[in-house]
Chains A and B, each alone.
Chain A
Amino acid sequence: MIARNDRLSGFRARLTGAGLVVLVSASALLSTPGSLEGAQAAQEAPDGMALYEAGCASCHGSDGRGAAADRIAFDDPLPDLTDCSFASREPDADWIIVSKAGGPVRGFSDVMPAFAEAFDDDQLQAIMDHIRTFCTDRAWPRGELNLPRPLFTEKAYPEDEWVWTASANAEGPGAIVNELLYEKRFGSRNQVEIALPFGFAEDSSTPASSDGGPASDWGVGLGDIEIGYKRALLHNLRTIFSFGTEVKLPTGDSERGIGSAEFQIEPFLALGQILPGDAFVHLQAGGGLLARGHRESHGTAEHDEDVREAFFHAVLGRTFTSGEFGRSWSPMVEVLASTHLADGAQPQWDLVPQMQVTLNTRQHVMLNVGVRVPLTDADVRSTQFLVYFLWDWFDGGLFDGW
């Protein structure tokens, strides 16, 4: 996400068009076997239905809508398994974990029993396949595609979440930049978001203090507010491909180093791909168009109108689980590239190793810690330390499920 790069790093680099080519080529993976349609057909296996009737229907109802209150002996609300907005969000693996070990294993009600001693993994999968038939609208991307969120790259999967990101420069002029991001899904494929950056930046132009020591004048303020929209265009059980655009408003203060104070439109394409062995890839490519061509780049003023730029992000990661049901750890390596689309412009590259970890039992609150290392122009661009705190609010309150 090019706007986020700017807020967090204070630099804008250049990119060749290779990223877009790779991204579009990767979308061909959508035609691989294991499509949602094929899987749906298999989900209607009669054994799964029979097992569901034996083990689940007493409470969840034969139709998945939940048993009537007078048919059960507890007050906890039952989910509507036919509600695609609910039923599509989590991967099979999470549903099966709860079915095996009971609700508390993911911070849910202890009324949900454990069936590990009643059903084996194949039977639980058959039940899960039957449950998947309750949501009949296949426009909803499956939760398997909700891959771990990188620090910079926009996911293709639409989300409901709050994310607070903070970054600090390791050297050079000090800068501590925060961003509070709110994302909201609507419909089966869409997401809107608003990002509110704010922070502190050291003004390197401040004259020395009267005692001859180094001066430290920190600017505090609001960055460039960003509004975004994203739509999942295509998806199957392993791949999701989305389009989005972000509009950055000139609310920042470039002189203080908090935002660029420019109006900018940034369309992008994003792809998420599940790989074997719990590995995954994110790809994102896009461009930026400045409506007003005044910007600061590495301390040098540029005055070219309608500056165009492009960026490409790639992420490779893998998720590990502590024990059978424990915390999820997702180490990722993120490669960032960006360039001005002008003659002679050279791309800038960054490497961002990072680790995301789920913090609570429900796994809807997460932390990601990483460092952004410039691979080009390292003499003028600072290494950054970054951390985000993520709350998937659709899955429950911030203090639920610990």
Chain B
Amino acid sequence: MAGRWGRGPFLPCALGVVAVGIVAAGAAESGAVTGRIVVAEGQVRFAGEPPAGAEIDMSADAYCRDRHDETLMDRPVRVGADGGLADVLVRIVNAPAASASSPAPEAEALLDQEDCLYTPRAVAVRAGQPLVIRNSDATLHNVRVVPDSNPGFNLGQPIQGIQSTRSFETPEIGIQVRCDIHGWMTASIHVLEHEFFDVTGEDGAFTLPTLPPGDYEIEAWHPTLGTVSERVSVAAGETPSLTLEFSSG
């Protein structure tokens, strides 16, 4: 139940600087840009103890506490075992203009609350695409969504299995989501005008839809590390791959 957040110490670092990269994943389906976010071992430097994150105190809610065998760590930067960085939005900044006029998919995206954690911690949707917000827990959660460009809302979800559907009409990156009852529960919602985006999981991998030939700027956004971007040229018949690297410090 605690696997997504991990329990151990933060990734060992040497000089107090986190350096994270998105590294090409190599072969992929024809015409797709693929990659994965990794921690470049040679580029991660920390001085002193690595940031282990703070312990999450779930004692105020017995349900949450009982869902976890060990104390969880609140880690704003989640790095997988293979060095991948999770919760990163990867998107094409200068996507083809025609892509913005394509209809939003009818398929629902999902933001779940499970074992008193958001799953996933970052979710991306097209403008107008339905987003289902579900409480899979048998305890009260509230879902306070605080956008800058879209209407905000705050849902009380006291019933296990309850779900609400919302959509956002204006593209916006990094909409904050939080539960005011369980302060460790935070997430991000990203709303994009086109389809050229992905959100990384714990392996840091991302896959973008097929791009027409051209020069593109690819940006990676993380809620605490900020953004990095790279330019890439896509030629007909090629599958570009790239690495995007974060550093903080």
Contact = CB atoms under 8 A, between A and B. Distances in A.
A305 to B, nearest CB: 67
Given A55-B140, A58-B140, A72 B181 contact: yes
B56 to A, nearest CB: 11
Nearest to A57: B140
Contacts, number: 60
Interface in B130-161: 139-140, 142-144, 146, 152-159
B181 A118 contact: no
A17 to B, nearest CB: 55
Interface residues of B, number: 25
B207 to A, nearest CB: 34
Interface string A113-145: 111011100000000000000000000000000
B158 A114 contact: no
Contacts of B65: none
Contacts of A74: 180
Nearest to A113: B156
A72 B162 contact: no
A59 B60 CA distance: 11
Given A59-B181, A73-B182, A110-B144, A54 B153 contact: no
Contacts of A55: 140, 156, 158
Query: Interface centre among A111, A113, A117, by most B CB within 10 Å?
Result: A113
A114 B155 contact: yes
Contacts of B61: 58
A58 B135 CA distance: 16
A112 B181 contact: no
Nearest to B164: A117
Interface of B: 60-61, 139-140, 142-144, 146, 152-159, 162, 164, 178-184
Contact of A118 (B139, B157, B179): B157
A314 to B, nearest CB: 44
B183 A73 contact: yes
A73 B181 CA distance: 5
B142 A113 contact: yes
Contact of A117 (B139, B140, B162, B180): B162
B104 to A, nearest CB: 22
9 contacts: A72-B183, A110-B144, A110-B154, A111-B180, A113-B143, A113-B155, A113-B180, A114-B154, A117-B162
Given A58-B181, A71-B60, A73-B182, A111 B144 contact: yes
A110 B152 contact: yes
A53 to B, nearest CB: 9
